[in-house]
Chains A and B, each alone.
Chain A
Amino acid sequence: SQKIEQNSEALNIQEGKTATLTCNYTNYSPAYLQWYRQDPGRGPVFLLLIRENEKEKRKERLKVTFDTTLKQSLFHITASQPADSATYLCAPGTGSGGSYIPTFGRGTSLIVHP
């Protein structure tokens, strides 16, 4: 069955450093991969989508890579800030032509210390 793995241990880093979160998947060939942010007591919020034919995607301080050979995505936040503290969910998905059905990982908690 499909398996999506994200580090269950919280990642603690100092403000200003780069945070790197990892998402690994098995028994799965996603056409794309999304990253979401979830704050306590709230629903997930979409951040980025990267397609299988893209190696890297950037948005402001965020960078995502997608290695379909390693079956892995890395999510980077540069110049991290305490406001970046949240849980980040990886969501590889399949579908096309308007149908996009992701499967969510359990998320990794990021804590940025001032």
Chain B
Amino acid sequence: DAGVIQSPRHEVTEMGQEVTLRCKPISGHDYLFWYRQTMMRGLELLIYFNNNVPIDDSGMPEDRFSAKMPNASFSTLKIQPSEPRDSAVYFCASSLGAEQFFGPGTRLTVL
């Protein structure tokens, strides 16, 4: 298995633009997590899904953030409109048990 796949790896955009981050979890995993990592706040859980259903989105910072998982092999995290304070590395992770497998992350820069 190729592991968790995220795209794009780097994204530079201007304030106000829509940003869509993509994630393909490991086949067979039933949990999918979206995290954001910054120097100031560390690794924060934004939202997680179980069997494609959102379970807890209390970590989503604002209504500008939304996430979907239309099927077991794909998830998106959308920011609309983006702001400079959204600049961070966004990780997707999947799991079947306690061990989480992380993707390489998407480094987002909002100018």
Which residues of A lie under 8 Å from residue B63 when comparing CB positions? none
A32 and B98 in contact (CB under 8 A), knowing A43-B91, A43-B93, A101-B48?
A: yes
Judging by beta carbons under 8 Å apart, are A89 and B43 in contact? yes
Give the shortest distance, in Å, between A1 (CB) and chain B (any CB): 12
Interface of A is mostly: loop
The size of the chain A interface, using a CB distance under 8 A, is: 21
How distant is the Cα of A93 from the Cα of B56 in the complex, in angstroms?
Answer: 15
The answer, yes or no, to whether A82 is at the interface (CB within 8 Å) is no
- Using a CB-CB cutoff of 8 Å, which residues 9-44 of chain B contact chain A? 30-31, 35, 42-44
Judging by beta carbons under 8 Å apart, are B102 and A43 in contact? yes
A93 and B98 in contact (CB under 8 A), knowing A43-B91, A106-B42?
A: yes
Q: B-contacting residues of A (Cβ < 8 Å)?
A: 32, 34, 41-46, 49, 89, 93, 98-107
